[in-house]
Amino acid sequence: MLELDIIGAWDARAVNLDQEEADRNVYEFDLTLWNLLSTLA
């Protein structure tokens, strides 16, 4: 599953960022991903 690999890599990167910034970035990424998946569904 490519989506899970992308999320795993993003989460690993987010751990190295400031926690507040990481939370915002991961949320925005998740929102973008769900929008993309819903468009493709």
- Give tens-digit pLDDT for 10-40: 677 666 666 666 677 778 888 898 888 889 8
Whose structure tokens read 């993003």?
Answer: 10
**What are the residue ranges spanned by the domains of the chain?**
3-40
Greater confidence (8 vs 38) lies with: 38
Nearest CA to 10 out of 32, 26, 23 is that of 26
pLDDT (0 to 100) of residue 37: 85
Claim: this prediction has a pTM higher than 0.75? no
pLDDT at 1 > cutoff 80: no
Length of the chain: 41
**Residue 19, both tokens:** 């926690």
- Sign, CA dihedral 7-9-10-16, equals positive
User: How many Å apart are CA 21 and CA 35, to the nearest integer?
Assistant: 21
